[in-house]
Amino acid sequence: MHAGELIQRGAVYYPDHVAVIYQDRQATFEEVYRNSNRLANVLMRLGLKKGDRVASLLANSLHSVEIDFALLRSGLARVPLNTRLSEAEHLHMIDETEARAILFTEEFAGRVAALRPKLKTVTHFCQLTGDPQFPWILSLSQAMSVVGDDDPPVVPDEKDIATIQYTSGTTGKLKAAVHTHETWVAICNNILTAIRIEEGDVMVHAAPLTHASGTLVLPHWIRGATNAILPGFEPKEYLEFVERVRGTTLNLVPTMIMMLLSYPGVERYSFESVRNIIYGASPMPREALRKGLALWGPKFTQYYGQTEAPLILTLLEAKDHVGDDPETQKRLLSCGRPVSTASLRIVDEEGNDCPPGEIGEIIVKTSQGMVGYWKAPELTAETIRDGWIHTRDMGYLDERGYLYLVDRKSDMIISGGFNIYPREVEEVLYQHPAVLEAAVVGVPDPKWVETVKAFVVLRPGCRATEEEIIEFCKGRLASYKKPTSVEFVDALPKSAVGKVVRRLLRDPYWKGVDRPDR
């Protein structure tokens, strides 16, 4: 089966249902499907062939769904470009994948114009909205008005590439995970198996559709649910939108949840229609989760996955969040148990399975795993061994099979020969009443090789001193784990999907200094 079949089924089953809401606009399943066909037919007329790579540069919009569906229906490989990346990063992604076309909306015409003289393979520049400013840009809206909405004359194969998805870049190196139609269908089935989706549900998207949130679109489409889209995330707009469209399912990263919980008057907005608040991408501070449970009730579901194996490898279900006993409170720090479509192991440096409670690398085997990295055979061979994807994430399983994510290998701090995992220190920092956000990194130390440095964002109107924060941690952590310095900042650097990029905090301290390998 290829993903285009699933798109067609949704259109046949629910033609008059509302498929997409974008701000105050909406479109039915039939309308989205026909527009996708028109767009696919335009791309075919340009001479693009099955297997060609097509880059897309656009923020969340009504067109996001139509573009993804058009590319899947026509057998073209999608290369989504994160809008927050630099010109140099966009150039690298387009050239590395040898994209033949780039689709963009008018607000990115300037970026595309700057890229054009440097691009090696792109022959078609296609603008979706607004009037093109340059003669070399094709107006897709005009081109779509003169083509038919019949099915494109291409049938993708399950082994054809569906998407080349770049990782979010928290480690500094952009890696391109390749997913075929076969794995894309498996991803869809994984989501349908793991979370409850019903006809008439409303899935609210504010995170970039180029990443995890976009992976949730097709499973909701297949079930006859509406995908309600915002151009970005702003707490007041988001709260009003959820209330207005009566959202049933929310997909948020922990940073977004913390911003909502800190928004003045958040309790005045109704979440009565909300059944499921899905969170992932990075660990959720337990204190924030407790506050969310108190405000909105047991509606939270956490998942763990990564670009190489999206979307859901483990699941901490809503029922796992309920209870005041020590076992439940500990479980709130986990990211759940493996789902039925994934096998998961914790292994040591030699590849041996670790016993419960012992930290090692998380490795997974699943039908939704990537087939490899684009044009990186050595990196692929290093990552996929005997069918197991080595995630580079560190964690452990408890006696009942719950996974506890500790940190990335590259973020681990080794101080005086002791391993320190930033998340453990950050969890303590979040317990301080003045701390809104916190991140911990290792910085050079002449005696201990590296030592713990904390970056802290204070809550509005709150004060704290470096000495106070260190003393607070001293009473809750082993002495070698406590921060030796604290820097107060206005904000933490984050990736486009809301992950704190510790590398940007850490790297300036290691310029000209050799950091121990991880």
For residue 518, what pLDDT is reported?
Answer: 54
Q: How far apart (Å, rounded) are the C-alpha atoms in residues 245 and 225?
A: 12
Q: How far apart (Å, rounded) are the C-alpha atoms in residues 149 and 41?
A: 8
Task: Find out whether 280 and 302 touch, Cβ atoms under 8 Å.
Answer: yes
Task: Find out whether 374 and 97 touch, Cβ atoms under 8 Å.
Answer: yes
Task: Find out whether 126 and 101 touch, Cβ atoms under 8 Å.
Answer: yes
For residue 251, what pLDDT is reported?
Answer: 94
Could you count the other beta carbons within 10 Å of the beta carbon of residue 191? 25
Domains of the chain with bracketed CATH: 28-180 (3.40.50.12780), 233-408 (3.40.50.12780), 421-510 (3.30.300.30)
**Two structure tokens written together for 497:** 């999907």
In 3-state terms, what secondary structure has residue 126?
strand
Residue type, 440: V
For residue 417, what pLDDT is reported?
Answer: 72
- Render each residue's pLDDT in the chain as its tens digit; 518 residues: 899 999 999 999 999 999 999 988 999 999 999 999 999 999 999 999 999 999 999 989 888 999 999 999 999 999 999 888 888 889 999 999 999 999 999 999 999 999 999 999 999 999 998 999 999 999 999 999 999 999 999 999 999 999 999 986 545 567 999 999 999 999 999 999 999 999 999 999 998 898 889 999 999 999 999 999 999 999 999 999 999 999 999 999 888 898 899 899 999 999 999 999 999 866 677 888 999 999 999 999 999 998 999 999 999 999 999 998 999 988 998 999 999 999 999 999 999 999 999 999 999 999 999 999 999 999 999 999 999 999 988 899 999 999 998 877 778 888 877 778 888 899 899 999 999 999 999 999 888 889 999 999 999 999 999 999 999 999 888 888 999 999 999 999 987 667 888 989 999 999 887 776 55
Closest CA to 250 of 223, 221, 220: 220
Q: How far apart (Å, rounded) are the C-alpha atoms in residues 331 and 406?
A: 14
Give the pairing type, strands 449-458 and 485-488.
parallel
In 3-state terms, what secondary structure has residue 63?
helix
Could you count the other beta carbons within 10 Å of the beta carbon of residue 382? 12
The one-character DSSP state at 172 is S
Each residue's pLDDT tens digit, 250-270: 999 888 898 899 899 999 999
Q: What angle do CA 22, 129, 136 make, to 5 degrees?
A: 155
Q: Strand pairing partners for 392?
A: none
Q: How far apart (Å, rounded) are the C-alpha atoms in residues 372 and 277?
A: 31
For residue 172, what pLDDT is reported?
Answer: 55
For residue 512, what pLDDT is reported?
Answer: 81
197-230 b/e with 16+ CB inside 10 Å = b?
beeebbbbbbbbbbbbbbbbbbbbbbbbbbbbbb
Distances (CA, A) of 504 to 92, 128, 169: 20, 34, 11
DSSP H or E stretch at residue 74: helix 62-74
For residue 168, what pLDDT is reported?
Answer: 61
Could you count the other beta carbons within 10 Å of the beta carbon of residue 301? 25
